[in-house]
Structure 1
Amino acid sequence: MSAPHEETFTALRTQLQEAAAAFADGPDALEGIPLGLVDDVDRAVREPLEIFPVCHHSPASATAMARRLREKQPKTVYLELCEDMAPLLSELRNCRLPVAVQAFATDVEGFPADWSPLSVVAPITEASAEYQAIAYALDTPGVELVLVDRSSDHVFQWDARAEETAEPADPDAPPAEEEAALHGDAVGVEIGDLRPRFAELEEHLLRHGRVRHWSEWWHQYVELPLGDSGHDSYRQVMFLIGSLFRRLAPGDARRLRIDEDRERHMWTRIREHLTATGTDPEDCLYVCGAFHAVSHVAEFGVHGADTFEIGPRTGTVWQHGLIPSSHAAIEAQFGLAAGSVSIAATVWAKNLRRTGVRPYRLAGQAGAKKPPGTRKPPVPAVPEPDVPPSDELSGFLQRPPVLDRLDEEELLGWSVEIVRAARRNGYLASTADAIAVFETSILLAGMRDRARPTPYDFQDAAVTCIEKDTVPGRRDVRRLVEIMMGGDRIGQVGYDALPPLARDVHDRLAPLGLKLQQRGVQRALLDMSGRPELERCSDVLWMLRRLMPQGAARPIMGERRLGERPIQESWDLALGTHQRALIELGYEGVSIEQVLEQRLRRTAYGPRATTADVLEAVEDATLYLRSRRLADELGNRALEVLGGERSVDGAPEVLRRVRRLLTYYRTSEPVLPQWIESFTKTGYAHYCTLLPTAFADDDATVRQVAATLGFLFGMESLALSLGCDRTQLELAVAQSHPEEPSKTALLWAAQAHLGLLSRAELRARCDALLDSPLVLPAYPRYLSGFVHALEPVPSLTDFVVEAVSHAFGRLPDPVLLPWLPTLIGTLRAGGADLAPLLIREAGRIFPGRLAALDAWVPPWRARPVPEAGHPARRGGGPRGLALLHAHPDTCDAVAGLLGCDGTWEPEDTGPGGAALLGRHPDTAVALERLLAAS
Structure 2
Amino acid sequence: MSGPHETPFATLRGQLHEAAAAFADGPDALEGLLLGMVDDVDRAVREPLEIFPVCHHSPSSALAMARRLREKRPKVVYLELCEDMAPLLTELRNCRLPVAVQAFAGDIDGFPAEWAPLSVVAPITEASAEYQAIAYALDTPGVELVLVDRSSDHVFQWDGRYGERSPQAGADAEEAPGAAAGPPKTEAGLHGEAVGLEIGDLRPRFAELEEHLLRHGKVRHWSEWWHQYVEVPLGDSDHATYRQVMFLIGSLFRRLAPGDGDRVRVDEDRERYMWTRMREHLASSGADPADCLYVCGAFHAASRVAEFGVAGSGSFAVPPRTATTWQHGLIPSSHTAIEAQFGLASGSVSIAATQWAKNLKRTRVQPYRLAGQEGEKKPKATKAVAPAVAAVEAAGSDRLSGFLRQPPVLDGLDEAELLSWSVEIVRAARRNGYAASTADAIAVFETSILLAGVRDRAKPTPYDFQDAAVTCIEKDVVPGRRDVGRLVEIMMGGDRTGRVGYEALPPLARDVHDRLAPLELKLHQRGVRRALLDLASRPDLYACSDVLWILRRLMPPGAARPIMGERRLGERSVQESWDLSLGTHQRALIELGYEGVSIEQVLEQRLRRAAYDAQATTATVLATVEDSALYLRGRRLTDELGDRALHVLAAERSVDGAPEVLRRVRGLLAYYRTGEPGPPPWIGAFVKTGYAHYCTLLPAAFTDEDATVGQVAAMLGFLFSMESLALSLGCNRAQLELAVAQSRPTTPEKRALLWAAQVQLGTLSRTELRERCGELLDDPLVLPAYPRYLSGFVHALEPVPGLADVVVEAVSNAFGRLPDPVLLPWLPTLISTLRSSAAELAPLLIREAGRVFPGRLAELDAWVPPWREAPAADTRPGGRGAGGAALLFAHPGTLDAVAELLGCDGSWTTPAVGSASGALPARHPDAAAAWEALLAVQPKGSTAPAR
Q: Does TM, normalized by the shorter one, top 0.5?
A: yes
Cα distance, 1:572 vs structure 2 = 0.4
- Tell me the equivalent position of 1:169: 173
Q: How many Å separate the matches in 2 of 1:922 and 1:162?
A: 79
- Tell me the equivalent position of 1:503: 510
Aligned residues: 922
| 1:717 corresponds to 2:736 | no
2:888, 2:895 within 8 Å by CA — same for their partners in 1? no
1:322, 1:493 within 8 Å by CA — same for their partners in 2? yes
- Tell me the equivalent position of 2:884: 881
Q: Which runs of 5+ in 2 are unaligned?
A: none
1:357, 1:378 within 8 Å by CA — same for their partners in 2? no
Q: How many Å separate the matches in 1 of 2:775 and 2:38?
A: 97
- Tell me the equivalent position of 2:671: 664
The one-letter code matched in structure 1 to 2:121 is V
Q: Deviations over 1:500-524 (max 9, x none)?
A: 0000000000110100011111110
Cα distance, 1:892 vs structure 2 = 1.7
Q: How many Å separate the matches in 2 of 1:928 and 1:406?
A: 95
What is the 5 A alignment of 1:15-26?
15-26=15-26
1:192, 1:291 within 8 Å by CA — same for their partners in 2? yes
Q: How many Å separate the matches in 2 of 1:564 and 1:897?
A: 43
2:749, 2:792 within 8 Å by CA — same for their partners in 1? yes
2:881, 2:932 within 8 Å by CA — same for their partners in 1? no
Q: Of residues 767, 770, 776 in structure 1, which corresponds to 2:774? A: 767
Query: CA 1:839–1:203 in structure 2 vs 1: closer, same or farther (change >3 Å)?
Result: same
The one-letter code matched in structure 2 to 1:398 is R
Q: How many Å separate the matches in 1 of 2:903 and 2:714?
A: 36
The one-letter code matched in structure 2 to 1:658 is V
1:54, 1:287 within 8 Å by CA — same for their partners in 2? yes
Query: CA 1:412–1:146 in structure 2 vs 1: closer, same or farther (change >3 Å)?
Result: same
Q: How many Å separate the matches in 1 of 2:478 and 2:378?
A: 38
| 1:692 corresponds to 2:693 | no
1:342, 1:487 within 8 Å by CA — same for their partners in 2? yes
| 1:729 corresponds to 2:744 | no
- Tell me the equivalent position of 2:477: 470
The one-letter code matched in structure 2 to 1:150 is R
Cα distance, 1:472 vs structure 2 = 2.0
Q: What SS does the aligned partner of 2:858 have?
A: coil
Q: Deviations over 1:242-270 (max 9, x none)?
A: 00000011234211011111111111111
Q: How many Å separate the matches in 1 of 2:136 and 2:276?
A: 24
- Tell me the equivalent position of 2:30: 30
Q: What SS does the aligned partner of 1:161 have?
A: coil
1:325, 1:491 within 8 Å by CA — same for their partners in 2? yes
1:876, 1:925 within 8 Å by CA — same for their partners in 2? no
Cα distance, 1:170 vs structure 2 = 1.6
Q: What SS does the aligned partner of 2:572 have?
A: coil
2:447, 2:468 within 8 Å by CA — same for their partners in 1? yes
| 1:262 corresponds to 2:270 | yes
1:44, 1:293 within 8 Å by CA — same for their partners in 2? yes
Q: How many Å separate the matches in 2 of 1:888 and 1:300?
A: 107
- Tell me the equivalent position of 2:459: 452
Q: What SS does the aligned partner of 1:851 have?
A: helix
Of residues 382-391 and 586-595 in structure 1, the stretch that sits farther from structure 2 once superposed is: 382-391
- Tell me the equivalent position of 1:628: 635
Cα distance, 1:564 vs structure 2 = 1.6
Q: Of residues 350, 353, 357 in structure 1, which corresponds to 2:365? A: 357
Cα distance, 1:443 vs structure 2 = 1.1
- Tell me the equivalent position of 1:558: 565
Q: What SS does the aligned partner of 2:712 have?
A: helix
Q: Of residues 197, 214, 227 in structure 1, which corresponds to 2:222? A: 214
- Tell me the equivalent position of 1:241: 249
- Tell me the equivalent position of 1:380: 385
2:162, 2:195 within 8 Å by CA — same for their partners in 1? no
Cα distance, 1:860 vs structure 2 = 0.6
Q: Of residues 523, 529, 535 in structure 2, which corresponds to 1:528? A: 535
Q: Deviations over 1:202-233 (max 9, x none)?
A: 01000000000000000000000000001010
Q: Deviations over 1:628-648 (max 9, x none)?
A: 111000000000100111011
What is the 5 A alignment of 1:814-833?
814-833=821-840
- Tell me the equivalent position of 1:579: 586
Q: How many Å separate the matches in 1 of 2:377 and 2:445?
A: 30
Cα distance, 1:342 vs structure 2 = 0.6
The one-letter code matched in structure 1 to 2:567 is R
Of residues 712-721 and 6-15 in structure 1, the stretch that sits farther from structure 2 once superposed is: 6-15
Q: Of residues 535, 547, 567 in structure 2, which corresponds to 1:540? A: 547
Cα distance, 1:880 vs structure 2 = 4.5
Cα distance, 1:923 vs structure 2 = 5.4
1:917, 1:924 within 8 Å by CA — same for their partners in 2? no
Q: How many Å separate the matches in 2 of 1:295 and 1:815?
A: 84
| 1:200 corresponds to 2:208 | yes
Q: How many Å separate the matches in 2 of 1:771 and 1:474?
A: 61
- Tell me the equivalent position of 1:492: 499
2:148, 2:277 within 8 Å by CA — same for their partners in 1? yes
- Tell me the equivalent position of 1:329: 337
Q: How many Å separate the matches in 2 of 1:821 and 1:98?
A: 59
Cα distance, 1:545 vs structure 2 = 0.2
Q: Of residues 465, 487, 495 in structure 2, which corresponds to 1:480? A: 487
2:210, 2:222 within 8 Å by CA — same for their partners in 1? yes
The one-letter code matched in structure 2 to 1:380 is V
- Tell me the equivalent position of 2:74: 74
Cα distance, 1:878 vs structure 2 = 2.1
The one-letter code matched in structure 2 to 1:176 is P
Q: How many Å separate the matches in 1 of 2:363 and 2:927?
A: 112
Q: How many Å separate the matches in 1 of 2:902 and 2:135?
A: 91
- Tell me the equivalent position of 1:916: 927
Of residues 856-865 and 208-217 in structure 1, the stretch that sits farther from structure 2 once superposed is: 856-865
Query: CA 1:507–1:439 in structure 2 vs 1: closer, same or farther (change >3 Å)?
Result: same
Q: Deviations over 1:455-508 (max 9, x none)?
A: 111111111122222222221111111111110001000011100000000000
Cα distance, 1:360 vs structure 2 = 0.2
Cα distance, 1:917 vs structure 2 = 2.5
Q: What SS does the aligned partner of 2:57 have?
A: coil
Q: What SS does the aligned partner of 2:571 have?
A: coil
Q: How many Å separate the matches in 1 of 2:576 and 2:174?
A: 45
Of residues 24-33 and 816-825 in structure 1, the stretch that sits farther from structure 2 once superposed is: 24-33
| 1:846 corresponds to 2:853 | yes
- Measured on the aligned residues, the alpha-carbon RMSD in Å equals 2.3
- Tell me the equivalent position of 1:742: 749
The one-letter code matched in structure 2 to 1:407 is D
The one-letter code matched in structure 1 to 2:140 is T
Q: How many Å separate the matches in 1 of 2:594 and 2:5?
A: 53
1:356, 1:378 within 8 Å by CA — same for their partners in 2? no
Query: CA 1:5–1:900 in structure 2 vs 1: closer, same or farther (change >3 Å)?
Result: farther
Q: How many Å separate the matches in 1 of 2:64 and 2:5?
A: 25
- Tell me the equivalent position of 2:319: 311
| 1:183 corresponds to 2:160 | no
Q: How many Å separate the matches in 2 of 1:896 and 1:298?
A: 108
Q: Deviations over 1:392-432 (max 9, x none)?
A: 01111011111111111111111121122122222222222
1:514, 1:522 within 8 Å by CA — same for their partners in 2? yes
Q: How many Å separate the matches in 2 of 1:13 and 1:262?
A: 30
Q: Of residues 776, 796, 800 in structure 1, which corresponds to 2:803? A: 796
Q: What SS does the aligned partner of 2:328 have?
A: strand
Q: How many Å separate the matches in 1 of 2:740 and 2:245?
A: 85
- Tell me the equivalent position of 1:59: 59
Cα distance, 1:290 vs structure 2 = 0.3
Of residues 137-146 and 295-304 in structure 1, the stretch that sits farther from structure 2 once superposed is: 295-304
Q: How many Å separate the matches in 2 of 1:50 and 1:908?
A: 119
| 1:806 corresponds to 2:813 | yes
Q: How many Å separate the matches in 1 of 2:939 and 2:416?
A: 97
| 1:295 corresponds to 2:303 | yes
Query: CA 1:108–1:743 in structure 2 vs 1: closer, same or farther (change >3 Å)?
Result: same
Of residues 559-568 and 4-13 in structure 1, the stretch that sits farther from structure 2 once superposed is: 4-13
Cα distance, 1:319 vs structure 2 = 1.0
- Tell me the equivalent position of 2:94: 94
Q: Deviations over 1:5-57 (max 9, x none)?
A: 76111000110011000011122242110011001111111111100000000
The one-letter code matched in structure 2 to 1:154 is H
Q: What SS does the aligned partner of 1:320 have?
A: strand
Q: How many Å separate the matches in 1 of 2:792 and 2:942?
A: 33
Q: How many Å separate the matches in 2 of 1:355 and 1:745?
A: 87
| 1:516 corresponds to 2:527 | no
1:191, 1:289 within 8 Å by CA — same for their partners in 2? yes
